[in-house]
Amino acid sequence: MTQRVSSPSSRGRKAEPPSPSSAARERLSRWIAERGLKATRQRDVIVDTFFSSSGHLSVDELLTKVQARDENIGAATVYRTMKILTDAGLASARHFDDGQTRYEAAMGRHHHDHLICTSCHQIIEFENERIEELQDMVARHHGFQVTRHKLELYGLCKDCQGR
Amino acid sequence: MTQRVSSPSSRGRKAEPPSPSSAARERLSRWIAERGLKATRQRDVIVDTFFSSSGHLSVDELLTKVQARDENIGAATVYRTMKILTDAGLASARHFDDGQTRYEAAMGRHHHDHLICTSCHQIIEFENERIEELQDMVARHHGFQVTRHKLELYGLCKDCQGR
DNA sequence: CACGAGATTGAGAATCAATCTCAGTTTCGA
DNA sequence: TCGAAACTGAGATTGATTCTCAATCTCGTG
C-alpha cells in the first residue's frame, strides 16, 4: 500500500538489465503466441510488475503497484492477466485464510508449503520431503490419487511472539 | 444437490436412542447461559439439524435441511448460530477450495486432516501423528509458534479414478 | 404472571472478492 | 493498410457472508 515501485525515471533510455524474470517473459510470449492471444501494453506492465515484486502478492496489492505505473489499467485486466500467468505455469495462486487470492512466481520452482504469521502476515516457505512422503502414504492407504495438496501452518513468527 | 437425506421410513416408532449430541447440546446451553445469550426455537432447530447430520455441511446445505423443518428460519440466523457453535468449540469451520465454509461437529474430537475428492466431493478424514511431529519440527526450526494448521490432499478417490 | 431490558430474528441492504458484459480499442497476420 | 478477433475499462453481476433495523422473543424480577 505505502509501497511504491520506484519508477526508474526512464528518460527514454531502457538500460535493459538481464532481469531474472526474462525467461518467464519469454515463456509467456510463446504461450500467448501459441494460442492466438495477443501481446498488449497492459499485460506487459502487469507481468513486469509482478515479476519485479517478490513474495505473495494479492491482486489488490499488485493492482496498486500496477496503477502506480499506469493509472488506467483496471482491476479486471489484472485478474485476467494473473489467470493467464497461472495457466501458463508462471505464477501460482494461493488461498490462505484471509479470503484473498495471492500469487507467487512459479518459474520452475519446486513445490513448497507455508508458515503464515497471523500477526504480521509474514509468509515463510518451506519444503519437507519427509512430510510429502507421509502424505503419499496416507493417500495410498485410502486408495486416493492426489493431484495437489495444501499444507499451511498458522501461528506467530519469531518476531511476533513477544508481543 | 440431487442428494437427499433418505428419510428412514419412520413408522411412528421413535426408539429414543441416547443421542450422541445430547452432550453437545448441554454444553451449548451452558455456554449460552454463561454469557447472557438466549435460547431460541430457531437455534434449537438449527443445532438439532446440524448434530443429526454428519459430514462436512455447508451453510447452504444446512439451511436447506433447517428450512425443511421450519421454512421461516433465515440464512442469517444459520450463519449466526454456526458462529456460536464454533465459538463454543462444538463445531469447527473448514474452508476447502470450493469457496464455501463447511462445518463439522467438533465435540471432543481429535485434530484431523482431510482427503478431498475433486470429482465426487467425498471427504475422508485422517490423522497422522508423524506428520504432526514433522510440522512441529519445521515450525520450531523457523522459530514459529504454530496455533493451528491445515493439511488438505486433493485428488481422486478410489471410486472416481476409473472414470 | 406481567414487565421490560436486552438479545434475537428475518429481510433486505451492504460488503468483498472475483467474474461477466459490452462497447470502444488494439493487435497482428495477410 | 485492413479487418477479424482478441483486449480493455467501467460498471453490473454473482456468490458468500455480514450488517442493519424494526419487530419479536426470552427470561430474571417483582
- Dump the DSSP string for A49-78: HHHHS-S-EEHHHHHHHHHHH-TT--HHHH
pLDDT band for position A34 (cuts 50, 70, 90) = very high
Q: Is the pLDDT of residue A1 over 70?
A: no
- Looking across all nucleic acid strands, the nucleotide with the smallest C1' to CA distance from residue B98 is D16
Task: Tell me how far apart the 2 most distant CA atoms of chain A are, in Å.
Answer: 62
A34 touches chain B (CB under 8 A): no
pTM, entire model: 0.86
pLDDT tens digits, A45-96 = 999 999 999 999 999 999 999 999 999 999 999 999 999 999 999 999 999 9
> Which has the higher per-residue pLDDT, A64 or A19?
A64
pLDDT tens digits, B79-127 = 999 999 999 999 999 999 999 999 999 998 999 999 999 999 999 999 9
Alpha-carbon torsion (B7, B8, B11, B16), positive or negative = negative
pLDDT tens digits, B11-35 = 334 445 556 678 999 999 999 999 9
Are B135 and A153 in contact (CB < 8 Å)? yes
Report the SS3 class of residue A145. Answer: strand
Name the minimum distance, in Å, from the CA of B96 to any CA of chain A.
Answer: 10
- What is the arithmetic mean of pLDDT over A109-124? 95
Q: Do the Cβ atoms of A108 and A88 come closer than 8 Å? A: no
> In whole angstroms, how large is the CA radius of gyration of chain A?
18
Residue A156's DSSP bridge partners are B145
Label residue A42 exposed, middle or buried (CB < 10 Å: 0-12, 13-18, 19+): middle
Q: Do the Cβ atoms of A113 and A152 come closer than 8 Å? A: yes
A93 touches chain B (CB under 8 A): no
Could you check: is the Cβ of residue A76 within 7 Å of any atom of nucleic acid strand C?
A: yes
Q: Is the pLDDT of residue B8 over 80?
A: no
Selection from A151, A48, A39, A141 nearest residue A94 by Cα: A151
Could you check: is the Cβ of residue B49 within 7 Å of any atom of nucleic acid strand C?
A: no
A143 touches chain B (CB under 8 A): yes
Per-residue pLDDT, B93: 97
Per-residue pLDDT, B162: 83
Distance of CA A97 to the CA centre of its chain: 16
A142 touches chain B (CB under 8 A): yes
Which of A14-18, A61-65, A159-163 has the lowest average pLDDT? Answer: A14-18
Selection from B36, B146, B55 nearest residue A158 by Cα: B146
Q: Is the pLDDT of residue A163 over 90?
A: no
Which positions on chain C have an atom < 7 Å from some protein CB?
6-12, 16-21, 26-29
Cell of A99: 479470503
Cα three-residue angle A79-A85-A105, rounded to 5 degrees: 105
pLDDT above 70 coverage of chain B, percent: 87
Per-residue pLDDT, A162: 82
- What is the arithmetic mean of pLDDT over A22-44? 95
Residue that is written with C-alpha cell 486433493 in the block: B154
Selection from B106, B56, B98, B26 nearest residue A150 by Cα: B98
Residues whose beta carbon sits under 7 Å from strand D: A 32, 36-38, 40, 42-43, 72-77, 80-81; B 33, 38-41, 58-60, 75-76, 79, 83, 99-101
Select the residue of B147, B149, B153 nearest A139 (Cβ to Cβ).
B153
